[in-house]
Chain A
Amino acid sequence: MILSNGASLAAIAPILAVMITGMIVLLGDSCLKLWRQAKWVSPTISVLGLVVSAALACSLIGTSGQQLAFSGALTADAFSQACNIILAVIAALAVMGSATYLENRGLQHGEYYVLVLFSTSGAMLMAAASELIVLFVAVEILSVALYVLAGYARTERKSEEAALKYFLLGAFAGGFLLYGIALIYGGSSSIVPGQVGTTNLRALGIYLHQMPAPNQMFIAGTALLMVGLAFKAALVPFHMWTPDVYEGAPTSVTAFMAAAAKVGAFAAILRVFNAFIPISEYWLIIVQVLAVATMFGGNILAVVQDNVKRILAYSSIAHAGYLMVGISALTGSGAATDALKAEAHSAAMGGITFYLLAYGIMTMGAFGVLIWISRRGRDVQTLNDLKGLVKTDPVAAYTMLIFMLSLGGIPPTMGFMGKWFLFYATLQAGQLWLAVTLALASIISIYYYLRVVWVMCFTEPDENAVAPGRAVASGGVVVSLIASAAATLLFGVAPGLLHSLMDAASTVLRP
């Protein structure tokens, strides 16, 4: 169903709300002196805007089926609304955590929140993009804002270096993305009636379904597009930038980057490959190889790290691998009948949506704990800094325990349920070996998550590590931690509460 322009605006209201909030914060911070002086105004307005956006998305998710907005440039369907909710939640948690962190480091400025809101809207647009060129521009909005945020602590060498690495690799990936789109545009003419080109994913999905015979130019374009998106989602072997950038960027930015950029990239990957399911025999094996390499590469490299931010960076790579397993399950390649294939597809859609939310919340939580421990002015980075945390800061240690168990996929947490849904979808798709690989990789990952727990609980605190300076106001990060810890446990025990979200997302049908 193609919406009129007015209805299209209503359908993308959650995205507009985030953009408008960004502009309000930008104007308020630069024009009103009182606004600028009261440090809490910008983060509060940002969180309010994000809550409005999430509420709008919640109200729209039930009514939006397969809507095309703005003559097919955007898809305002239930999956895009689900991603809007996930991204608004992530951004709200990030803003609350950032307020504490920035105050602590003397970096509290209004522009920070503007950039966070703009990159959130970029990620939301990535999830909604149906025209590949919209996808490209949306990727760049997300990335450009993140390059600046990564270098936000400008006087620190590490932060600057992170910004430079992220920028060079990101722009390189952007080149691949654009050339891939060009080749898809050229190669699509043999399947589109009238021998013209198109880059509309919905149209391509329909034409590929009618005639699943892409030419080589089209396949080459898809491959380049995949390389570009794999860079953005940090899949092995395109992950080299991740640990350095995650370590160098300010912790609050790392948290946001790890969660939002990955959700945006995966929403885009899902959109592209969902449209290309009719030609899955060309890409399925590559996706599976990437999934296995990413799961094992991320988990094995995480084992040898000593810096908590790097451990979490490699763990985020591994989580991207689990999500790729979900992408592979979308095809239902091993399912016997069409009905079973459709069932596997909707199970995978629901599983990926749940996992994106779970990943976002537990990542924000784990980084949030690091921010909270740093509230006395010491930037916590290494495992050494966490030694004996259970004695010096028991609440922080137990909160971290929840997120580590969740990231490791141990019940009764959200991370476990997410993995279970992906595992189930993979079994439904008849890809037994991939499901087994997923389970094996998660077992490796438990080792380094438990290592963090062990360091916190069973070692003596480092004498010179304790620096009880005056704690800054940390209300924001406390709220964000309580919210994410509660969500991790609640949805781990009762994932049924999110059924409406998963069901809505799984209505995005096979083309």
Chain B
Amino acid sequence: MDTASLLVFISLGVLTLVPALFVVNSRSIVHAGFWLLPCFLGVAGLYAALEAHFFFVTQLLIYAGAILVLVLFALMLTRNAMNPTESQSNRLKPVAALVCTAFAAGSTFILVKHPWAITTDTPKPAGVQTEALGNALIQNYAVPFEVASLLLLAALIGAIVLAKSDRGPVPEPAPLADLTSGTAGGE
């Protein structure tokens, strides 16, 4: 293990975990949404460090791109849903934090103690890896691949059902003045 790769790992780890903590701890829901971006970028960086080039790109496109944008859209649509100065957490917080710390400590203990076999295999170049992935997708993993397409179809229909406005009246949209007074408060 050379120092350079360890440093890269540590900085990527900090880039992932610290924003994740801010997502959980932020008072403003919009800030929480924006903290998600560095977290997803950090995960993408970890994929690059693991030399999973395909997933580096996919993570950027799907998580940092599509999913984050959808989440932010939803935040904007429900923006003045709540008073941003009130606490975002419920009363469970201390107990939950304690339980989760214990959980993290336990899992770290298990993972450290785990008898990891030493791998000598160096990852293949990006093109070869992606080719293997594509082959597996239409051979051994053809069933989950097809099933996932059914899942996406079901989700598509579901989203249309939820968004259709022919059932019941749609309430008037809030006037613009309300939106501007929405989430002004911060941390």
Contact = CB atoms under 8 A, between A and B. Distances in A.
Contact of B115 (A144, A155, A190): A190
28 contacts: A26-B157, A72-B140, A111-B160, A115-B161, A118-B150, A118-B157, A122-B150, A122-B151, A122-B154, A131-B143, A134-B143, A134-B147, A137-B147, A137-B151, A138-B147, A141-B154, A144-B155, A147-B158, A148-B157, A148-B158, A148-B161, A152-B161, A155-B167, A215-B114, A215-B115, A216-B114, A217-B111, A220-B107
B105 to A, nearest CB: 13
Interface in B113-129: 113-115, 117
A155 B166 CA distance: 11
A189 interface: yes
B110 to A, nearest CB: 5
* The 4 residue pairs across chains A and B that have the minimum distance between CB atoms: A155-B168, A148-B158, A73-B143, A118-B154
B158 A115 contact: yes
Contacts of A154: 162, 167-168
Interface in B146-187: 147-148, 150-151, 153-155, 157-158, 160-162, 167-168
A253 to B, nearest CB: 12
A114 interface: yes
Chain B, interface SS category? helix
Interface string A116-156: 00110110010000010110011011001101100110110
Give the size category of A's interface with B: 35 or more
A216 B148 CA distance: 31
A283 interface: no
Contacts of B141: 73, 133
Contacts of A134: 143-144, 147
Nearest to A135: B144
A73 B148 CA distance: 13
B157 A114 contact: yes
Nearest to B148: A137
B94 to A, nearest CB: 20
B90 interface: no
Contacts of A73: 140-144
Contacts of A217: 110-111, 114
Interface in A197-229: 215-217, 220
B113 A121 contact: no
Interface in A93-113: 107, 109, 111
A74 B144 CA distance: 9
A145 B158 contact: yes
B144 A118 contact: no
Nearest to A136: B144
Interface in A159-200: 186-187, 189-190, 195
A137 B157 contact: no
Nearest to B158: A148
A195 B168 CA distance: 59
A71 interface: yes
Contacts of B114: 186-187, 215-217
A507 to B, nearest CB: 23
A133 B144 contact: yes
A19 interface: yes
Nearest to A23: B153
A189 to B, nearest CB: 7
B11 to A, nearest CB: 24
A140 B158 CA distance: 13
B169 to A, nearest CB: 8
Contacts of A109: 161
Interface string A54-91: 00000000000000011111100000000000000000
A303 B141 CA distance: 48
Contacts of A144: 151, 154-155, 158
Given A115-B158, A118-B153, 4 more contacts: A19-B150, A109-B161, A131-B144, A148-B162
